[in-house]
Amino acid sequence: MQLSLPPFSELLANTRESAIHLEMRDDYGTNSRLEAWQRGERVDWSDRESWWHPFHQAIADAVARGVGIRRARVVSEPVSEYIRWEHDATQGNIAAGEEVRWLPRSQAVGFLVPANDFWLFDGNLLRLHHFAGDGSHVTDELSGDVETVKLCADAFESIWQRATPHSEYII
């Protein structure tokens, strides 16, 4: 059953215990931060005002309320340019309070994984992401279907257990 779709910030604000995010694409299209990085511009992590966005604040606020936030990324190796940038930009996610792990796709053999990236809030509400072939975002879908939630939660936990913490995953 598809539910109406509130903004991500509202979903996170209503989360009480946990939010997990699974990413499995090697490219999510382009954006201004990626383009700046491609031009050789690097983030000055000591200047928080220059890179801190409302997303980071929403994560930090949730973590301050006691919400555990974990993100797992399944990536092809050698990694794409997008993933190189994403790895560099992950410092912002970490600073906001996320735990992030990386799993090379070759080490995901034997896992059943969903076809879509997703966020799972408090173990019972899925926000599924739909992307075009070029990596651009098409739409999101919200689901509370118990079986689908369980399949996604189990896939995430399998990946999380095998994945490498961000600080140890070298590109």
**pLDDT tens-place string over residues 10-37:** 999 999 999 999 999 999 999 999 999 9
pLDDT for 2 equals 52
pLDDT for 141 equals 95
SS3 track for 7-62: CHHHHHHCCCCEEEEEECCCCCCCCHHHHHHHCCCCCCCCCHHHHCCHHHHHHHHH
Q: Could you give the 3-state DSSP secondary structure of residue 153?
A: helix
> Both tokens of residue 113?
């994984």
The ranges assigned to domains in the chain are 2-168
Q: Assign residue 135 a region: left if phi > 0, alpha if psi is -120 to 50, beta otherwise?
A: left
CA atoms within 13 A on the CB side of 20: 21
* H/E run at residue 141: strand 137-143
Q: What would the CATH number be for the domain defined by 2-168?
A: 3.30.870.10
What is the C-alpha to C-alpha distance for residues 125 and 97, in angstroms, rounded to an integer? 21
pLDDT in tens, 78-135: 999 999 999 999 999 999 999 999 999 999 999 999 999 999 999 999 999 999 988 8
pLDDT for 4 equals 65
CA atoms within 13 A on the CB side of 136: 3
Q: Residues 145-170: what's their mean pLDDT?
A: 98
pLDDT for 163 equals 98
What is the C-alpha to C-alpha distance for residues 145 and 153, in angstroms, rounded to an integer? 12
How many other C-beta atoms can be found within 10 angstroms of the C-beta atom of residue 76? 14
